[in-house]
Structure 1
């Protein structure tokens, strides 16, 4: 028992040190980005927008990489929350920026999960739909004892053989090759990681009419 307790303590210390290291790396990487943003504002107009887009892409990459590694290292945190309300709030934030996204769902969906991790998951799923299709529909309802959020788009989709591969960190499918829509290959991995930490999952389906449906499920709290 003493040996087991010592191993458990050592593991907790390792995870804490790893989280601190990750936070430090994230801070160190974002500091030069802040300087680059300032310099971009002083750049000639014909290159300013492209510089700003590159900086935002780098910031997104850092944020998603940190979220993914933290999700692997951090202990699970669960709180009671309404998944439908959380999804509606995510949709509202996108809509406030002018995004073409709508929400449908009236019933509460009580779950036990990490609210910050779930918000990142939903942001990634909705952001993917908007990036690839220009519009998204988010539907919240209960199904077979599960809280279900469907993020639907009518974009170009991808080959059926990539349905699982797209969840691999840094995997970039066929439709991500265009720079205008290409992501950093971590959004879906982060979303699935968050859902599975709460006892659920994220899967993708390809409707016959085209597009992609991302289904995030979590067990309903009783």
Structure 2
């Protein structure tokens, strides 16, 4: 029988694992650094023995110091240099004026610190030492100064003695800091990645209640949030479907009384009154059909595909040009993106048609980058009052006079275009042009797949 321990994938557990991984990494680095760069436990014991040997040599008479040094076995060779010798003077000069700050060190013993030098066979200080450097190129030297100015030199063919240099201590601290930072960044990246993915999905689907449910993944808390969002999407989908059915029923039921009104209007003798009645009937029918078409959100039933957006925009501009409208296009010849081409075509047509109808012309400019496409539609018309720049996106809102119901339709063109653009995670911004006219800026992010 195999026992498997399973832990809940929660944010709390991920944070705990992050901290634990950082601590374990620091401990592992400390052990490795202590083993490779600093005194190990055995080396510290050797240093304690070296401290005892230094004190014994210092306590002995000058004539017996070298004989005593020859009996020491903690190093392959131990040499005592009186202060008057040339090599002792070189040690003293190196201690005072050494260009390498890591060579001069403090030898820490039981009776305090002593001046010392640490070097290898490759250093210039080792050339005058009575030792075979050719046979032992990796020999390790530690020269300790006694209180009377003389020096004791410990030589080991392999590293057996050592001091933890301040430079190495700084390196260790920097390494530990870098390791903790790297472990934290890596762990937090994997911790935040599912949250970023969830946010990206929300941006892509926008306010589309008919979007597919988001796949539940990540920690338990995030999966609960995704499940709650999917439930909300389902409720919104049901609400929209019920509203659409209600409007469809209303539109269908309105056709019968409108038809009756038209038939009865045929019996009106006054031609002018009869024509006005028929216009009102036509307006009511157009309003019902437009509202039904808008609330159905037909563009959201279209599947996303990869298409040439620049080619689509140029085709729309050419169609208006063939109809005699003054419409120009500036931008690339081709640009592939993922989206719903038919709905985007209707949105672009609404924007260009408004510019042609109210401004007399339309200047279309397309700018494409790897992350976003920008479409600008400009005209030279009267523009829009500042207090109405946002209101024009409200369903059935119409600006009086130049944009009334007779010339401006049902007031759903910009509303429908905004819904299409937002379904592609984009947005539309309006601004008045200097000298007269309106500028419509459409920004759509470029994604691999549109929800």
TM-score (norm 1): 0.71
Q: Say if 2:336 is the partner of 1:110.
A: yes
2:347 corresponds to = 121
**CA distance in structure 2 between the partners assigned to 1:100 and 1:51 by the alignment:** 36
2:413 corresponds to = 187
Using the TM superposition, give the Cα deviation of residue 166 of structure 1 relative to its aligned residue in structure 2, in angstroms. Answer: 1.2
Using the TM superposition, give the Cα deviation of residue 96 of structure 1 relative to its aligned residue in structure 2, in angstroms. Answer: 2.9
**CA distance in structure 2 between the partners assigned to 1:86 and 1:30 by the alignment:** 36
| Contact in 1 for aligned 2:370/2:446 (Cα 8 Å) | no
TM-score (norm 2): 0.39
For 1:169, what is the secondary structure of its paired residue?
coil
Q: Write out per-residue CA displacement over residues 118-171 of structure 1, whole angstroms, 9 at most, x where no aligned residue.
A: 222112111111111122122222257211221111000122221111111112
1:40 corresponds to = none
Structure 1 residues 53 and 168, CA gap change in structure 2 (3 angstroms): same
The worse-fitting range, judged by mean Cα deviation, of 84-93 and 176-185 is: 176-185
The worse-fitting range, judged by mean Cα deviation, of 9-18 and 205-214 is: 9-18
1:216 corresponds to = 442
- Structure with the bigger RCO (C-alpha within 8 Å, sep 6+) is 1
1:79 corresponds to = 305
| Contact in 2 for aligned 1:112/1:221 (Cα 8 Å) | yes
For 1:81, what is the secondary structure of its paired residue?
strand
**CA distance in structure 1 between the partners assigned to 2:387 and 2:232 by the alignment:** 41
| Contact in 2 for aligned 1:158/1:174 (Cα 8 Å) | no
Mapping for residues 141-220 of structure 1, pairs under 5 Å: 141-142=367-368, 145-174=371-400, 176-178=402-404, 181-220=407-446
For 1:147, what is the secondary structure of its paired residue?
strand
Q: Say if 2:319 is the partner of 1:88.
A: no
**CA distance in structure 2 between the partners assigned to 1:207 and 1:179 by the alignment:** 24
Q: What is the root-mean-square deviation of aligned Cα atoms in Å?
A: 4.1
Using the TM superposition, give the Cα deviation of residue 13 of structure 1 relative to its aligned residue in structure 2, in angstroms. Answer: 5.8
**CA distance in structure 1 between the partners assigned to 2:306 and 2:408 by the alignment:** 35
| Contact in 2 for aligned 1:167/1:189 (Cα 8 Å) | yes
The worse-fitting range, judged by mean Cα deviation, of 106-115 and 161-170 is: 106-115
The worse-fitting range, judged by mean Cα deviation, of 75-84 and 205-214 is: 75-84
Structure 1 residues 190 and 179, CA gap change in structure 2 (3 angstroms): closer
For 2:338, what is the secondary structure of its paired residue?
strand
Q: Which has the larger radius of gyration?
A: 2
**CA distance in structure 2 between the partners assigned to 1:211 and 1:183 by the alignment:** 20
How many residue pairs are counted as aligned between the two chains? 214
Using the TM superposition, give the Cα deviation of residue 202 of structure 1 relative to its aligned residue in structure 2, in angstroms. Answer: 1.2
For 1:117, what is the secondary structure of its paired residue?
helix
Structure 1 residues 104 and 130, CA gap change in structure 2 (3 angstroms): same
**CA distance in structure 1 between the partners assigned to 2:285 and 2:328 by the alignment:** 27
